[in-house]
A and B are shown apart, each in its own frame.
Chain A
């Protein structure tokens, strides 16, 4: 029987972990018109009501993305990309 020392490393023990997914490809695939558009232009490009505020306000922009998600997932029944499991 081999003898040895079992070593467990915990390289990321003191780290904050972020897992990020870029939705651009998903939007561009399902709505080609969104190519070359910024996040704040998603709702407008889809022809749906825009959030209140101005483009390049990051909250306006994330809400524009959210409204685009709602339109595609809830109205056009595209598979929700946020529910796709990643390992």
Chain B
């Protein structure tokens, strides 16, 4: 584990008018990742060292809503031209992260869970503090209860599933 560098992660995902308020519980609403942004930083100086910017093709709702386009500035054209499958994006992200810890503001790791579930990617997740498994089968995408409890999460993703 690297103790000199870390990764800060942020994701953008598909959305519709009112989706936030109803926690993406509308028909066929899923928080599919459409862009992953991450930077590697030096832990002492807090200076940016390296950047990752990846567009991802949503598999269930391949066309972005007008609301999503306006909110994120991401267009269908960009997704079609530059987007890659979530499996490949996770692989790129894994290569980028290496042995560094990941930090984010908010529940981006939960978005990864959701997207791995949606795309049948094998993984196991547990909390570091108590080594408590996160029973992802019980995690409904509309249930945000984990977000307030999970601070540190260790996530294992089957390499064979993301290549």
Contacts and interface: CB of A to CB of B under 8 A. Distances in A.
B152 A38 contact: no
Contacts of B147: 22
Interface in B39-55: 39, 41, 43, 46, 48, 51, 53
Contact of B43 (A14, A25, A83): A83
Interface in B101-123: 101-109, 112, 123
Interface in B58-106: 71-73, 90-91, 94, 97, 101-106
Given A15-B159, A16-B94, A61 B10 contact: yes
A70 B101 CA distance: 18
Nearest to A65: B105
B158 interface: yes
B57 interface: no
A20 B125 CA distance: 10
Contacts of A14: 158-160
Interface size class of B (residues with CB under 8 A): 35 or more
A39 to B, nearest CB: 4
Interface residues of A, number: 39
Nearest to A39: B105
A18 B97 contact: yes
29 contacts: A11-B156, A12-B124, A12-B156, A14-B158, A14-B159, A16-B91, A16-B156, A16-B159, A17-B154, A18-B153, A19-B1, A20-B109, A21-B151, A22-B103, A39-B105, A56-B73, A57-B37, A58-B10, A61-B10, A61-B37, A61-B105, A62-B39, A63-B48, A65-B104, A65-B105, A66-B8, A73-B46, A80-B43, A86-B152
Interface of A: 11-12, 14-25, 27, 38-40, 42, 54, 56-59, 61-63, 65-66, 69-70, 73-74, 80-83, 86-87
Interface of B: 1, 3, 6, 8-12, 35-39, 41, 43, 46, 48, 51, 53, 71-73, 90-91, 94, 97, 101-109, 112, 123-124, 128, 147, 150-160, 162
Given A17-B154, A58-B35, A62-B39, 14 more contacts: A11-B156, A15-B157, A15-B159, A17-B156, A20-B109, A20-B153, A21-B101, A22-B103, A22-B104, A56-B72, A56-B73, A65-B8, A66-B39, A66-B46
